[in-house]
Chain A
Amino acid sequence: MNPLETLRFAVLGLSANKVRSGLTMLGILIGVAAVILLLAVGNGSSQAVKDSIDALGTNALTVSSGAGFGAQSTATSTKPLTIDDARALADQSQAPDIKGVAPEVQTSQTALYEGTSHTVSSVIGTYPAYFEASNSKVVQGDYFSNDDVLAARKVAVIGSTTATDLFGTASPIGKKIVLGGTPLTVVGELATKGSGTGFQDPDDVIIAPLPTVQNAYSGFGSLSQILVEASSADTTTQAQNEITTVLMGTHGIKDPTAVDFRVSSQTTLLSTRSSTTQTFTVLLGAVAAISLLVGGIGITNIMLVTVTERTREIGLRKAIGAPKGVILSQFLAESTLLSLIGAGLGVAVALIGAHFTIVGIKPVVIPASVWGAFAIAVAIGLFFGSYPASRAASLRPIEALRHE
């Protein structure tokens, strides 16, 4: 009997009991779809983390005030971060691995433009160095300059979400918006950064010269944080040490365990997060694998029932000269066909499902998972089908014929 013949018999055998075959296939379908889709979700979330690392700039270090949670600092009082701290950090002789320093004040204001009102979640006052350190690029117009900072000009660079909300599709460049009662001229629009890591939209932002923001909203007190750009990704550790040394000097702290500021690098922050998503992916994969296994057991179950049901038929086939191999391959072909069709449909369902956003994550299908899940499902069909099949094949003809 040639393989085509065997396949035809298998199709006949399966179609004899459509509901049962369908339900068994469903088990495999769900298993395969779950494996592909859940891995895609896991992969999608780690992809998002990776993207946001790039979006934030890998060389960036953030200095913020306070001892920080869980830190072993024994500081009793906290000195706020000031412009002087930022100037000290910008001193090349003290901190050779620091390329740029951008002091930041942050607030939230409502922007108005021709009757359109929009609450901007973060209004940042800073220096032009901010753009490079935070990996923010303009797509239209230009950044503001050091001159603008010195003169405290009322100019602003806005994020893409802010631009769309206020101006729609029109170009915002040169337009005047009113932010918290102060008119600002838009000079540039930033490229979209995407969903980012936090719950905040990184594209809903207005960036203006530091004195302008201080003047209009926050006052000339302390800074929210200082963004520091290390000279390269490899020197972030040195830069971090230099920051600590310099700020201990300006804050008059002798004991390194009693610092009143925090230096955090985006990469360390994000590597923690990406290892979390990795655990998440593994967990999802394990759950999916279990469901695939359950689908496989379903195949064994149904094939055992089929063999029992068809024992007399097997006896009859043997009586008219069916060799053991033919019976074996017939039942193996049936179980493999079950898993093959189930897996094929599962792949289709997964690929369709991957077009939808699942729990806020855009799934990114891993091609290897498609082939892997498919191959495993087919192997499961072979493996779990082989026990019932070999049981059928080794039946003695007379015993099979006498079966009730």
Chain B
Amino acid sequence: MNALEVAGLAVSYGPTEALRGIDLAVAEGETVCLLGANGAGKTTTLRALSGQVRARAGRIRFAGAEIGGMRPHRIAARGLVQVPEGRQVFAALTVAENLALGAWTLRDAAEADRRRRQVLARFPRLAERLRQPAGSLSGGEQQMLAIGRALMAGPKLLLLDEPSMGLAPLMVEEIFAVIAELRQEGVTLLLVEQNASAALEIADRAYVLENGRITLAGPAWQVARDPSVAAAYLGG
């Protein structure tokens, strides 16, 4: 069963065509990564899935329903949850408040509490900083908070936009370990990354996006061996 099915998705910003009709699918429980150079259209893809930009053409099916044209808060409430590029934690709010916002659509207080304990067990560093403003955290801690906040929503599909961007190597490793853990637990993941080697190691399948078009798709090990990918994204 596919959690997500995208067909012919096209997005323009005024005269700029950012996506020129892409097809993409993520099966339930699968980890898919989306690779591409700067400006290829990776963020635009995720923003279109979350309803943050309007598609010019194409269809988006999520969990059996058409979600194209829905507003972002409705899509999030359905369980399609995004950890946006640049983390976008609420800097002026505390860590605890950021986590509470992640569970905004959840009306069951006991369940919210259970998820919160899970997130804090996963990220003990956040537990020590619950009363601090999120803006005072380090970049890596903010990324943990952004992921923790998304997990509070109990995602059916988790979109991650360059979670390792701008982090120290040790922290990058830690973030990828968390992603591997989530995959183990069966969370359905769509991962956008510049760190292609690490992403291809974790993912089941991969897509390569160039200039708003999918130019390559397949099992991650196969994509990793593609000479063009090796040259462009794997530094050799």
- State yes or no: do A and B come from one complex: no
